[in-house]
């Protein structure tokens, strides 16, 4: 996708010292408001008020309100691409690698909970083109995870009577749903939940 004004402007508009650039402030405000209230229930006026700028400034960096939302999606996709690289680079027994990946998927989701809430609740807001693109990139992430399961099945470390795709869908479903109930101030942290989720996954895959 073509670099937006927001991406190029972020460097150019960077303020000296503590005050972040206007695009960063807009994205931070957008993340909070879109997660708390929803994309549609957040007006452009409320968004720029929260960012401390005006609508003209926002439209200088972003082509539309949807473009702001899409910038959040790009950030989510960038995060998961970095995680994917970590999956691909890992070494060791496949069960260990799957376990580590499973924990990491949960920890990453919990660390970026607002982003994940926005992602799953607002996907339908995007144009069909952008939806397809986003789903495709998310698919790559989940497919890499599935490939680990398949590797384990080939090595007979995991059972083979359940399609790897089904296992990956079940696990990612559980993780993607964390945004609906997980609370940072709850009893369990991301690592603990990740530990349980990974353990249940691996136990379910025993031959």
Partner DNA sequence: GAGGATATCGAACAGTAGTTCGATCTCATC
Partner DNA sequence: GATGAGATCGAACTACTGTTCGATATCCTC
Site for DNA, rule CB under 7 A? 5, 9, 12-13, 22, 40, 42-45, 52-57, 59-60, 64-66
Rounded to an integer, what distance in angstroms lies between the CA atom of residue 153 and that of residue 157? 6
Instruction: Tell me if 177 contacts a second copy by CB under 8 A.
Output: yes
44 binds, among DNA, a second copy, none (CB under 5 to 8 A by kind): DNA
Pairwise CA distance, residues 109 & 84, whole Å: 13
CA distances from 92 to 89, 98, 101, 168 (A): 10, 10, 12, 20
18 binds, among DNA, a second copy, none (CB under 5 to 8 A by kind): none
Identify what 124 binds: DNA, a second copy, none; CB under 5 to 8 Å per kind. Answer: a second copy
In the complex with DNA, which residue's Cβ is closer, 17 or 186?
17
Tokens of 36: 């708390």
Rounded Cα distance, 205 and 151, in Å: 12
Contact pattern for a second copy over residues 72 through 111, marking x by CB under 8 A = ----------------------------------------
Among 33, 47, 77, 167, binds a second copy (CB under 8 A): 167
If contact means CB under 5 to 8 A according to the sort of partner, which of a second copy, DNA, none does residue 14 touch? none
Ranges within 43-72 binding a second copy (CB under 8 A): none
Give the whole-angstrom CA distance, residue 13 versus residue 64: 19
Using the contact rule CB under 8 A, the part of the chain among 4-12, 37-45, 62-70, 76-84 near a second copy is 37-45
Between CA 204 and CA 162 the distance in angstroms is 10
Residue 38: C-alpha distances to residues 19, 28, 69, 161, 162 (Å): 26, 14, 11, 41, 37
Question: CA-to-CA distance for 74 and 91, rounded, in angstroms?
Answer: 28
Residues near a second copy, by CB under 8 A: 37-38, 40-41, 120-121, 123-125, 159, 162-163, 166-167, 169-178, 180-181, 188, 193, 196-197, 199-201, 203-206
């Amino acid at each position: 996708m073509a670099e937006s004004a927001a991406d190029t402007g972020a460097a150019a508009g960077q303020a000296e010292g503590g005050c972040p650039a206007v695009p960063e402030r807009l994205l931070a405000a957008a993340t909070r408001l879109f997660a708390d209230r929803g994309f549609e229930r957040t007006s452009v006026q409320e968004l720029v008020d929260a960012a401390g700028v005006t609508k003209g400034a926002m439209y200088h960096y972003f082509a539309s309100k949807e473009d702001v939302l899409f910038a959040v999606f790009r950030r989510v996709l960038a995060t998961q691409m970095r995680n994917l690289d970590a999956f691909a680079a890992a070494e060791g027994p496949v069960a260990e690698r799957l376990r580590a990946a499973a924990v990491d998927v949960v920890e990453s989701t919990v660390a970026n909970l607002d982003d994940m809430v926005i992602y799953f609740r607002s996907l339908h807001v995007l144009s069909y083109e952008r939806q397809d693109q986003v789903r495709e990139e998310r698919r790559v992430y989940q497919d890499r995870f599935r490939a680990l399961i398949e590797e384990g099945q080939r090595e007979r470390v995991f059972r083979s009577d359940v399609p790897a795709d089904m296992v990956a869908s079940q696990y990612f479903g559980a993780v993607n749903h964390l945004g609906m109930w997980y609370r940072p101030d709850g009893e369990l942290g991301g690592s603990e939940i990740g530990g349980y989720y990974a353990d249940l996954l691996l136990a379910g895959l025993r031959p």
